[in-house]
Amino acid sequence: MVLFGLPSTALGTWIIWSLRQQHQKQLKQLNLEKEQLFLNLLQQQEGEITITKFALAAQIPIEEAKLYLDEKAKQLNGNFEASNEGGIIYKFPT
Protein backbone atom coordinates (compact mmCIF):
# COMPACT_ATOMS: atom_id res chain seq x y z
CA MET A 1 0.00 0.00 0.00
CA VAL A 2 2.82 2.42 0.85
CA LEU A 3 4.55 1.49 -2.38
CA PHE A 4 1.58 2.57 -4.52
CA GLY A 5 -0.04 5.18 -2.25
CA LEU A 6 2.92 7.46 -1.58
CA PRO A 7 3.85 8.19 -5.22
CA SER A 8 0.20 8.73 -6.13
CA THR A 9 -0.30 11.12 -3.23
CA ALA A 10 2.86 13.02 -4.12
CA LEU A 11 1.83 13.26 -7.77
CA GLY A 12 -1.67 14.43 -6.83
CA THR A 13 -0.27 17.06 -4.46
CA TRP A 14 2.12 18.32 -7.13
CA ILE A 15 -0.70 18.56 -9.71
CA ILE A 16 -2.91 20.51 -7.30
CA TRP A 17 -0.06 22.84 -6.38
CA SER A 18 0.77 23.38 -10.05
CA LEU A 19 -2.84 24.16 -10.94
CA ARG A 20 -3.09 26.59 -8.05
CA GLN A 21 0.07 28.40 -9.15
CA GLN A 22 -1.27 28.61 -12.70
CA HIS A 23 -4.58 29.99 -11.43
CA GLN A 24 -2.83 32.63 -9.32
CA LYS A 25 -0.73 33.64 -12.32
CA GLN A 26 -3.87 34.04 -14.44
CA LEU A 27 -5.55 36.16 -11.75
CA LYS A 28 -2.48 38.39 -11.55
CA GLN A 29 -2.51 38.81 -15.34
CA LEU A 30 -6.23 39.67 -15.37
CA ASN A 31 -5.75 42.23 -12.60
CA LEU A 32 -2.85 43.78 -14.49
CA GLU A 33 -4.92 43.98 -17.68
CA LYS A 34 -7.81 45.56 -15.77
CA GLU A 35 -5.49 48.15 -14.25
CA GLN A 36 -3.94 48.97 -17.62
CA LEU A 37 -7.41 49.41 -19.10
CA PHE A 38 -8.39 51.64 -16.19
CA LEU A 39 -5.30 53.82 -16.65
CA ASN A 40 -5.82 54.06 -20.42
CA LEU A 41 -9.44 55.13 -19.94
CA LEU A 42 -8.39 57.75 -17.38
CA GLN A 43 -5.87 59.14 -19.81
CA GLN A 44 -8.39 59.24 -22.66
CA GLN A 45 -11.09 60.79 -20.48
CA GLU A 46 -8.74 63.29 -18.79
CA GLY A 47 -9.13 61.80 -15.32
CA GLU A 48 -12.88 61.17 -15.42
CA ILE A 49 -14.62 57.83 -15.78
CA THR A 50 -18.08 56.41 -15.26
CA ILE A 51 -19.03 53.00 -13.96
CA THR A 52 -20.76 52.14 -17.22
CA LYS A 53 -17.79 53.07 -19.42
CA PHE A 54 -15.42 51.05 -17.28
CA ALA A 55 -17.75 48.06 -17.09
CA LEU A 56 -18.18 48.06 -20.88
CA ALA A 57 -14.47 48.43 -21.58
CA ALA A 58 -13.42 45.80 -19.03
CA GLN A 59 -16.33 43.50 -19.90
CA ILE A 60 -17.26 43.06 -16.26
CA PRO A 61 -20.56 43.42 -14.37
CA ILE A 62 -21.63 46.90 -13.25
CA GLU A 63 -21.33 45.99 -9.55
CA GLU A 64 -17.77 44.74 -10.02
CA ALA A 65 -16.89 47.92 -11.92
CA LYS A 66 -18.34 50.05 -9.11
CA LEU A 67 -16.36 48.17 -6.47
CA TYR A 68 -13.18 48.50 -8.53
CA LEU A 69 -13.64 52.24 -9.05
CA ASP A 70 -14.49 52.77 -5.38
CA GLU A 71 -11.26 51.02 -4.41
CA LYS A 72 -9.22 53.01 -6.95
CA ALA A 73 -10.78 56.25 -5.68
CA LYS A 74 -9.52 55.38 -2.18
CA GLN A 75 -6.06 54.44 -3.43
CA LEU A 76 -5.59 57.43 -5.72
CA ASN A 77 -7.41 60.12 -3.72
CA GLY A 78 -10.12 60.31 -6.32
CA ASN A 79 -13.63 61.54 -5.71
CA PHE A 80 -16.98 61.26 -7.41
CA GLU A 81 -20.01 63.35 -8.16
CA ALA A 82 -23.45 62.88 -9.63
CA SER A 83 -23.84 63.70 -13.29
CA ASN A 84 -26.78 65.59 -14.78
CA GLU A 85 -28.15 62.26 -16.01
CA GLY A 86 -28.08 60.76 -12.51
CA GLY A 87 -24.97 58.62 -12.93
CA ILE A 88 -21.72 58.77 -11.00
CA ILE A 89 -18.58 60.32 -12.43
CA TYR A 90 -15.33 59.34 -10.78
CA LYS A 91 -12.63 62.02 -10.95
CA PHE A 92 -8.98 61.22 -10.43
CA PRO A 93 -6.00 63.58 -10.22
CA THR A 94 -3.96 63.55 -13.40
Calpha distance 58→19 (Å, rounded): 25
Give the chain's domain count: 1
Q: Quote the domain boundaries for residue 78.
A: 2-91
Say if CB 92 and CB 47 are below 8 A apart: yes
pTM value is 0.74
Question: In angstroms, how far is the first alpha carbon of the chain from the final one?
Answer: 65
- Can you give the pLDDT at residue 2? 55
- Assign residue 38 the CATH number of its domain: 1.10.10
pLDDT tens per residue across span 42-94? 999 999 999 999 999 999 999 999 999 999 999 999 998 988 887 899 999 87
